[in-house]
Structure 1
């Protein structure tokens, strides 16, 4: 480890590694943009898991997006090894001058050693204090205890790049195909832009989900007030079953798109909504990236780290639960979080109404 000052004017190519889930990758999007803003001559590549590539597919600052497919292993060791070697050779041909590793994943550290860039940087993780990690990177930094976006940007600060507030926004472009599909879909359903509320009840982690009966009561109240509601869900049996229970018996005022949209299409959809309601999950970060006002419910996870970023929003968390955020898999491993289940539909409705009223006031003043 050297921590020498980096002369970016002499660099040509940078690789940013983010091997995590969809939301994590999206929350790293400002790193690409800020780096490009400060040094436009750089070619900035990304390395992510294949299933998360949509989060950076149309990012204007990304030159090339490389992917690791976790399904390679299912095809056998020889097939997987061939794919890994092909990826490694592709990365070697890019001849990176700098690698920014944004997680504690060992694969990123191994790639730094194999690719041998002049500079490499990672966080100085408490659980990565061994010789291998510390001698892999030329620069290590200690991230602050604040929002994940800021923690990602700490990698740039450690290299004397200071992000400005107006360049820290999440960057997500759905692309023309997704935008066109949603435009035609909304027209076919006679739904106007800003004329519906988008609700995404599910999460891959059940302990982050609100009580089904509360979501159902909330949706029925909205429809009773004359609102149009669009519900989405991932094409996952657990989420689809959840949505089925929530909307059971609701015959009018609701469009169920559960399992029918990819994440870019979901982004295009939520960009047209007047409001988004959800829990701590990737679609909530997508709504924030699309600047859709949102209300999000938090339970075991920490909103100071994972809350909506630079968007009009309200965060609702269980009052009176001193144990949160616990980051546990539900209370006593039950997959059910009491701090979330105690939140009432009326509480969420009030938060949404207050947020929308404040926005109306802001518009009238401006």
Structure 2
């Protein structure tokens, strides 16, 4: 037995901190579910960046969702100080017994001290000084030399305190909400579509090194539409992503249903939940598709599919045979373009999609 396990029955409130990007935040959702399953009496709060809050809002295990607005830094010292004080006051009023910090951000160490929590859990990170190590009562190691999925790494924080998740507890949770679902139902009706009759394709990422060549993406869409599939295209609202979508659609033989730049994260989740399958690259929409239980075909390049691949959903991962991947670099030589992605053929992606769809038909 773990000698310093925490008796959850002695706790009232827990704060889980995840200050990272959208996909990272969504991959923490099982932490809340597991804690609530093992201790239903707990009030479990989350602290994330404001722009990622939709990943966890409406999660049935979360009591309160606190957020940090990244724009505070550019609003002036006085404005930032007021916002930070308001947040700290709100957190202190909750009187947390346990803080679980799931990133390397030093704010988590400061907050664990300032909030006066009895217990604090964080990664045992190399290079962190005495302040970090003395801020937490429990530190958990990160495996070195082999890959472990990010969901499991997050859940290691719970294992370190004596909470052991069962397999069925580790699913991702993302709740679109009735408003988002109604919006998508109306949008699909206007396009002459209904649930499970279309493929959802999200070709872009804000990280260029994760993207497949646009001309190949166009060729893939054309091939799918020639086979009789309806394709719904989405992308983020950023200028670079919208420009990429414009180039991809410009060369299509047949027009495509294009919702790029128009959907919130909740609406994107509602859309992908109704798709027959999701096709894309390593990005937050891929994790959203997995959370909604949608079969997923995803292209991976420099990023590591064992750590970031689709979680607990039927999927196909399309990779090249480059021995240098996954390297994690911003393109080969830092040049933004990744040869391990550039060399993947349209035929390889089509084969993966066909295999995924066949599996879906066999399971019906």
State if a TM-score over 0.5 links the two structures: yes
SS of 1:123's partner is strand
1:185 pairs with one of 184, 187, 200 = 187
- Aligned equivalent of 1:314: 316
Following the alignment from structure 2 to structure 1, what is the Cα–Cα distance between the partners of residues 357 and 332?
Answer: 33
Q: For 1:149-183, what per-residue CA distance to the aligned partner results, in whole angstroms no more than 9, with x for missing partners?
A: 00000001011111011110100000111001000
Give the conservation status (yes or no) of the 8 Å contact 2:277–2:295: yes
Following the alignment from structure 1 to structure 2, what is the Cα–Cα distance between the partners of residues 178 and 302?
Answer: 31
Give the conservation status (yes or no) of the 8 Å contact 2:13–2:44: yes
Give the conservation status (yes or no) of the 8 Å contact 2:197–2:276: yes
Q: For 1:288-337, what per-residue CA distance to the aligned partner results, in whole angstroms no more than 9, with x for missing partners?
A: 00000110000000001000000000001112x11111100101111100
Is 1:135 matched up with 2:125?
Answer: no
> Tell me, which stretches of 5 or more residues in structure 1 are unaligned?
none
- Aligned equivalent of 1:167: 169
Following the alignment from structure 1 to structure 2, what is the Cα–Cα distance between the partners of residues 354 and 177?
Answer: 34
Is 1:64 matched up with 2:64?
Answer: yes
- Aligned equivalent of 1:237: 239
Following the alignment from structure 1 to structure 2, what is the Cα–Cα distance between the partners of residues 251 and 66?
Answer: 47
Aligned length: 360
Give the conservation status (yes or no) of the 8 Å contact 1:227–1:253: no
Is 1:338 matched up with 2:359?
Answer: no
Give the conservation status (yes or no) of the 8 Å contact 2:218–2:251: no
- Aligned equivalent of 1:302: 304
Following the alignment from structure 2 to structure 1, what is the Cα–Cα distance between the partners of residues 161 and 222?
Answer: 52
- Aligned equivalent of 1:96: 96
- Aligned equivalent of 1:210: 212
Following the alignment from structure 1 to structure 2, what is the Cα–Cα distance between the partners of residues 327 and 4?
Answer: 36
Residue pairs, 1:44-63, within 5 angstroms: 44-63=44-63
- Aligned equivalent of 2:284: 282
Give the conservation status (yes or no) of the 8 Å contact 1:30–1:169: yes
Moved more, 26-35 or 118-127: 118-127
> Tell me, which stretches of 5 or more residues in structure 2 are unaligned?
none
SS of 1:71's partner is helix
Measure how far apart 1:251 and its partner are: 6.1
SS of 1:218's partner is helix
- Aligned equivalent of 2:363: 362
Alignment RMSD = 1.2
Residue pairs, 1:18-167, within 5 angstroms: 18-128=18-128, 130-144=129-143, 145-167=147-169
Give the conservation status (yes or no) of the 8 Å contact 2:99–2:119: yes
- Aligned equivalent of 2:203: 201
Following the alignment from structure 1 to structure 2, what is the Cα–Cα distance between the partners of residues 78 and 256?
Answer: 43
- Aligned equivalent of 1:349: 350
User: Please, what TM-score do these two structures have when normalized by structure 1?
Assistant: 0.96
